[in-house]
Amino acid sequence: MQLLVFAHRAEAQTFLKLGNFKSVETTGNDLFFNSESYLLICGEGTMAALEMVSASLGLLKGKVTSVLNFGVAGSLSKKVIVDEIYEVRTAYAEIGSQIEFKSYSTKSTSLLDCISASNRVVNSEYAQHLSCFAQIVDREYWAIARAASNFTITFKAYKLISDNALENNSDEPICELVKTNSEYYSDRLYKHYKSLNSEVTNVEEKRLIDSYKDLYFTVSQYRQYRTVLKSLLSKYESEDEILKRVGMSIILEMEVLPKQKSQMVLEKMRELLTPFNTILNGKINTVLSPLKRANIQVKLSKNLESSMFNINASIRSESDLLQISTALSKFDFEQYQKLLKGDFNV
């Protein structure tokens, strides 16, 4: 469910009225719910908002999938027009008299950012200072975004511009204006909310591999398939091209179980993902084969960053000792070192 957050009850009045919201009894009189969403009045200022939103998300843990902030805000730029509603891209904040480094971004395509000021913006000099960082000013969005982010919940904000903060010179007229027009503002925000396509249906994409009935992927294999495919799609055009490169037609004709065919597809795909290292590992295995044949366990350096390697073997008899000694004498260390220094043909 969504959590709709407003700083003031007046901004939420239409939502409360038309949304048939009921109070969540265990809390004060600030958190509401209906069949589709929760609604919170968080109060003005970053401290109040951070506290209220964090507490509510804690209380509603697991129930909230996204946080939407609606409210009235001021313009800090010519391109932000009074009486328009804008989606916000990034939330910045002023904490005390300092600009806070941490910011919170949405995936919105909007080009407008919002700074949550620590005080009401009542003079143009203050507004000018804030305009260096964002085009919209409010008092709480950064805190709402921070709380949502802490709970790894997606967030968005829609701001209805009530005034041009760069032209403000006194607190009273603006606050008066906002109070007088609060019903109008709330109506506008509610209509905007209703027009939003709030739920994106998450339909799992059908994969070409699903059409091959001769393959059988276990759940784990299928998950691996999707992961490897995702990486390969940054190298190749399509799943179709990848499956052709994997040699799908040859694998399908093999007389093995469907599950084994799926495993082969996965192995070939991994080779496609790491073509260089597939060749390199093949060469290393060839050089190490005398040791492996003598049951000597070989542990190479991590990520092949060094030529050094460890061996481990069990000696139970003279013949074991002889076998190990013969294997070590057959082992071409120079060739191994050459491989680790990249001295070979691919």
Partner 1 sequence: MFETIFVEKHLASTKRARSILNKFPKANVTVIESVDDVFGKVKKPYLQKRETLNLFLGEKKGTLVKAAPDAYGLSGEPHYYFIHAYNCIYECNYCYLQGYFHSPDIVIFLNHEEICQEIERVALLEQEKGNTPWFHAGEFSDSLALSHITGELSLYHDLFSRIPYAKLELRTKSANIKPLKDLPPRENIITTFSLSPADKIKKNDLKTPSLKARLRAIKELAKLDHPIGIHFDPVVYDDGFEEKYRELIAEMLEVLPHEKLEYISVGVVRFTKNVFEQVKKNYPKSELLSTELIKSFDGKVRYNRPMRLWILSTIKELLLKASIAKEKIYLCMEDED
Residues that bind partner 1 (CB under 8 A): 77-78, 89-90, 92, 99-103, 105, 111, 128, 131-133, 231-235, 273-277, 280, 303-306, 339-344, 346
State the nearest-atom distance from the C-beta of 30 to partner 1, in Å. Answer: 30
Between 32 and 225, CB nearer to partner 1? 225
Which tokens is 274 given? 């790491």
Q: Is 95 helix (H, G, I), strand (E, B) or coil?
A: strand
Nearer of residues 49 and 130 to partner 1, judged by Cβ: 130
Q: Least distance from C-beta 307 to partner 1, angstroms? A: 9
- Return the number of the residue (62 or 96) whose C-beta is nearest partner 1: 96
Q: Which two tokens stand for residue 90?
A: 């990034």
69: phi then psi, degrees, rounded to nearest 5: -105, 125
Q: Which token pair is 296?
A: 């000597």
Residue type for position 147? A
Q: Given the complex with partner 1, which of 137 and 340 has the nearer CB atom?
A: 340
Burial letters 54-90, b for 16+ CB under 10 A, else e: bbbbeebeeebebbbbbbbbbbbbeebeeeebbbbbb
Q: With respect to partner 1, which residue has the nearer C-beta, 59 or 280?
A: 280
Q: How far is CA 218 from the centre of its chain?
A: 27
Q: Is 269 within 8 Å of 228 (Cβ atoms)?
A: yes
Between 91 and 294, CB nearer to partner 1: 91
With beta carbons less than 8 A apart as the criterion, state whether 127 and 170 touch.
Answer: no
**Whole-number minimum distance, CB 275 to partner 1, in Å?**
6
CA atoms in the 13 A half-sphere facing the CB of 238: 6
User: Shortest Cβ distance from residue 323 to partner 1 (Å)?
Assistant: 29
Minimum distance of partner 1 from residue 174's CB (angstroms) = 23
- Under 8 Å between Cβ of 75 and 166: yes
Beta carbon nearer to partner 1, 31 or 165? 165
Q: How far is the CB of 83 from partner 1 (least distance, A)?
A: 22
189 vs 204: CA distance, rounded Å = 33
What are the residues whose beta carbons fall under 8 Å from the beta carbon of 240, sequence distance 6 or more? 208
